[in-house]
Amino acid sequence: MRIHGMFKATLLGLAIVCNPFAPAVQAQEVLRVLKKDAATMLEVPMNRAVVVESEEPFAELSIANAGIADISSLSDRTIYVLGKSPGLTSLTLFDASGMLITNVNVRVSADVTEFKERLRQILPSEKIEVRTANDGIVLSGTVSSSSRLQRALDLAERYAPERVSNLMSVSGVQQVMLKVRFAEMQRSVSKALGASLGFSGGNAIGGLNTLNNNPNLTNAINGNIPGTNENAGAFLFGFSAGSTQIRLLIEALERKGVVRTLAEPNLSALSGQEATFLAGGEYPIPVAQRDGLFSVEYKPFGVEMKFVPRVVDGDLINLELLAAVSSLDPNNSVIVNGFEIAAFQRRETSTTVELRDGESFAIAGLIEDEFLDNNQQLPWLGDVPVLGALFRSADYQRSQTELVIIVTAHLVSPTRGEALALPTDRVRPPSESDLFLFGRTTRTTRGGGAAAEVAKQDFSGSYGYVME
């Protein structure tokens, strides 16, 4: 741009300086350009202005790219530079004789001053560095958690939508070990009391049976007590009256059972990454096809676990998990086209919880109580007091189930490999003399360094990671 007259420049300078709506000009720092200084760099925020003062009066000045920055002269020593769009250009100053005074490199970048202030207000304790790159924002440094990292990115998107580069890293422990405990108790009890009456005389045989489909009535008529594999208790009473024989069979049965199921799978994963675990097997299931053939699909069973940990803030952990314990149930199997397919007993939970390092959460629980009471009798005769018990049978069954699933999360970090121990470190195959002469199935270990020392300890804790 060539200066046409001092009067025009003076009027323009006065208009800008006296304009009450131009506080940004007065607030900017002044860049002083020395004579013959050809390597000066001028940083201008976009949509803001910087005042440049020259030590030597200039007669002519020009800007290489007017689309990046706009210039106006306030006097023969002062220049007003306004940033328009991100980029790099140069400002050239000439004296009255046409000699070069200096070249000023002008870099226009996005204005991040307000963004830095907001970032310090929202995340005051985080060490985040903010830089500009072309028309975008570059964030670098370290933050204490992934949630705070996301807050910084969301705030930067407000100032530079889709032009934010993330070079930040999360400090602290970001690996999570999850311990899941399945504990189930099943108790069942059943009692039954029944009577069968049989008589025979001459060529006549008959009897009264109060138990449905009871095969022991014939035994009672013939005077035989049923086998103990069918009844836990049986009492046979008989007498003869002439040629008539009467037999009374009283059967009593009581059963009690307790089933305990305990599984404690442990699994470690990086924050934000999915981890899966299966200890069991796969059961083949035939699947019919359209052409009459069969294909085989495998259904997993055993102890299953799948979870995604997220370290939210400090030691706060968000867990999205699925845990299940399943086993084959041949008692409820079905036969399809000659194939016997076993059923499954399955305990499964899928949920999302939030807890801190070392805390536990009971994510699922079950209390189930079933009661069944049956009473069978001969009409009218079974209602007779005392003696009616001979014509009546009764049984009841009761089953109770208690189930609880507890999860515990720990922030962990790797440890040295020499300190790790395996369950097999305690066991060594026996020698022939140990096996045949002394009857030993294993032999003790000696030496082995740090792993052997750890192997002597109790395996009640977690191995492979150091819990903080």
Q: For 163-202, write each residue's pLDDT tens digit.
A: 888 988 877 678 899 999 988 898 999 888 877 767 666 5
Task: Show the domain range for 377.
Answer: 175-195+252-414
pLDDT at 25 over 60: no
Beta bridge partners of 272: none
For residues 354 and 361, is the Cβ–Cβ distance under 8 A? no
In a domain, 426, yes or no: yes
Please state, in angstroms and as integers, the Cα–Cα distance from residue 361 to each residue in 241, 275, 310, 351, following that order: 73, 19, 16, 12
**Measured between alpha carbons, how far is 264 from 279 in angstroms, rounded to an integer?**
11
306 with 445, same domain? Answer: no
330 domain-assigned: yes
Count: domains in the chain: 5
Q: What is the pLDDT of residue 12?
A: 41
Are residues 218 and 316 located together in one domain of the fold? no
pLDDT recorded at residue 218: 52
Domain for residue 32, yes or no?
A: no
Contacts 24+ apart (CB under 8 A), 200-205: 200/244, 200/245, 201/242, 201/243, 201/244, 201/245, 202/243
| Percentage with pLDDT > 90 across the chain | 8
Per-residue pLDDT, 463: 47
Alpha helices in 65-142 (DSSP H): 113-122
> In DSSP terms, which residues pair with 297 in a beta bridge?
285
DSSP sequence for 351-382:
EEEEEETT-EEEEEEEEEEEEEEEEEE-TTGG
pLDDT of the residue at 202: 57
Q: Are residues 369 and 428 in the same domain?
A: no
Q: Which one, of 375, 366, 411, 5, lies nearest residue 178 by Cα? A: 411
First to last CA, the chain: 67
Domain at 46, CATH number: 2.60.40.1080
More confident residue, 116 or 226: 116
Q: Is residue 30 part of a domain?
A: no
pLDDT of residue 6 exceeding 80, the answer is no
Q: Classify residue 345 by its DSSP letter.
A: E
Q: Would you say the pTM of this structure is higher than 0.75?
A: no
**pLDDT confidence tier of residue 233, bands split at 50, 70 and 90:** low
Q: What are the DSSP E strand ranges found in 46-123?
A: 49-54, 60-63, 69-73, 78-83, 87-94, 100-109
- 58 and 94 co-located in one domain: yes
End-of-domain residue from the set 65, 94, 109: 109
**Are 205 and 246 part of one and the same domain?**
yes
Tokens of 200: 């025979």
Choose the final residue of a domain: 80, 109, 138: 109
Residue 16 lies in a domain: no
314 has a pLDDT exceeding 80: no
Residue 219 sits in the same domain as residue 127? no
